[in-house]
């Protein structure tokens, strides 16, 4: 006896939603209930302050006149986009973030390749290279400002004097490079750890096969290792960019926003705590959040494409 099934019946069966068994739903009820406190806490700590920021961005409120608060609609946003401070701060944010991410990525890759080899004191070297990422940003900025980059007694100018070069007033002559150097020093270990994980997950059989086939170290690294590290590089760049968009301590301590280093985060602080313009500062905060979310969405979509086309399907 042959059993035939018509095409509409098959399509109907495919469209029918699959419901979890009753036993599975009852087992998942407790884990889901345990997630509610964390979810509620996250909403209270993140979304409610953001909604209040949106509310304040629609108000005219200067802390010098705390009782004089009035609704102005989108006037604060018009002031933000109409002034020249926003465009210059956006460019400074892009320049400092992009330069720091690029340099820390290159240095992180170099240190990851070195740590991927066995040598005496490997664990000690790994610990020392991770240390900069564990230092508080404010403490790191103070160390760099007074101990390393100080114009009169800094270690950097002492080294320049040994080779006959004139001293450099780092915080005033090259302020953008000063901030990029500090952020690169701080985030190179972050890049190194992610890329080192990628190197250690590489198949040793593939590397041995390339050596047997006569491929040198440069060809093996270029044709095999770098393509393997692509998804790890994507993750490192995305996470580091999101973190560096919020960089504030080195700018506030070392340059105070001078010399083209006034990023969006520092401009927000300046409007709120120097100019005491709460409404305008809130508008800057909302715009900064929107820019960060837009970048994160585009970056994560790109990352998901990489995962679906390369790493997960193999």
pLDDT (tens digit, 9 = 90+) per residue, 127-139?
999 999 999 999 9
Q: Is residue 62 part of a domain?
A: no
Q: Is residue 3 part of a domain?
A: no
Give how far Cα 291 sits from Cα of 93, 265, 288, 296, Å. Answer: 11, 12, 5, 9
230: domain CATH number? 1.10.3720.10
Which residues lie across from 63 on neighbouring strands? none
Q: Is residue 238 part of a domain?
A: yes
Instruction: Dig out the tokens for 241 from the structure.
Output: 């960019």
Relative to beta strand 59-61, strand 69-71 is: antiparallel
Which ranges constitute the DSSP H helices of the chain?
Answer: 7-15, 22-42, 48-57, 75-82, 84-115, 122-134, 137-143, 155-162, 170-173, 175-200, 204-212, 217-220, 226-228, 230-244, 249-250, 264-273, 278-306
Q: Is residue 24 part of a domain?
A: no
pLDDT tens-place string over residues 15-41: 455 555 555 666 778 888 888 888 899
Q: Is residue 57 part of a domain?
A: no
Q: Is residue 98 part of a domain?
A: yes
Q: Is residue 133 part of a domain?
A: yes
| 190: pLDDT strictly greater than 70 | yes
Longest dimension (CA), the chain: 97
C-alpha–C-alpha distance, residues 33 and 29, integer Å: 6
Number of domains observed in the structure of the chain: 1
pTM of the model: 0.81
Nearest Cα residue to 226 out of 104, 97, 112? 112
pLDDT tens-place string over residues 137-166: 999 999 999 999 998 889 999 999 999 999
Instruction: Dig out the tokens for 77 from the structure.
Output: 């946003």
| 107: pLDDT strictly greater than 90 | yes
Q: Is residue 217 part of a domain?
A: yes
The boundaries of the domain holding residue 154 are 84-311
């Amino acid at each position: 006896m042959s059993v035939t099934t018509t095409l509409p019946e098959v399509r109907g069966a495919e469209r029918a939603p699959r419901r979890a068994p009753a036993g599975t739903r009852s087992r998942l009820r407790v884990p889901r209930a345990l997630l509610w406190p964390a979810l509620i806490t996250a909403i209270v700590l993140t979304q409610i302050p953001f909604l209040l920021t949106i509310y304040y961005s629609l108000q005219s409120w200067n802390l010098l006149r705390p009782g004089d608060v009035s609704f102005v609609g989108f006037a604060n946003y018009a002031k933000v986009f109409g002034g020249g401070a926003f465009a210059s701060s956006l460019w400074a944010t892009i320049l400092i973030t992009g330069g720091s991410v690029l340099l820390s990525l290159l240095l992180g890759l170099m240190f990851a390749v070195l740590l991927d080899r066995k040598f005496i004191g490997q664990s000690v070297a790994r610990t020392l290279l991770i240390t900069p990422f564990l230092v508080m940003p404010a403490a790191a900025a103070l160390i760099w400002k007074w101990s390393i980059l100080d114009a009169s007694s800094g270690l950097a100018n002492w080294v320049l004097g040994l080779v006959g070069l004139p001293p450099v007033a780092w915080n005033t002559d090259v302020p953008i490079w000063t901030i990029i150097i500090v952020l690169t020093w701080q985030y190179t270990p972050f890049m190194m750890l992610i890329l080192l994980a990628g190197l250690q997950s590489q198949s040793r059989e593939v590397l041995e096969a390339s050596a047997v086939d006569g491929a040198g170290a440069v060809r093996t690294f270029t044709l095999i290792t770098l393509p393997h590290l692509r998804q790890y590089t994507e993750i490192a760049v995305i996470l580091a960019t999101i973190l560096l968009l919020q960089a504030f301590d080195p700018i506030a301590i070392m340059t105070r926003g001078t010399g083209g280093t006034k990023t969006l985060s520092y401009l927000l602080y300046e409007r709120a705590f120097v100019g005491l313009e709460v409404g305008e500062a809130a508008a800057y905060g909302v715009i900064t959040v929107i820019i960060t979310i837009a970048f994160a969405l585009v970056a994560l979509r790109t990352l998901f494409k990489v995962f679906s086309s390369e790493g997960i399907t193999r």
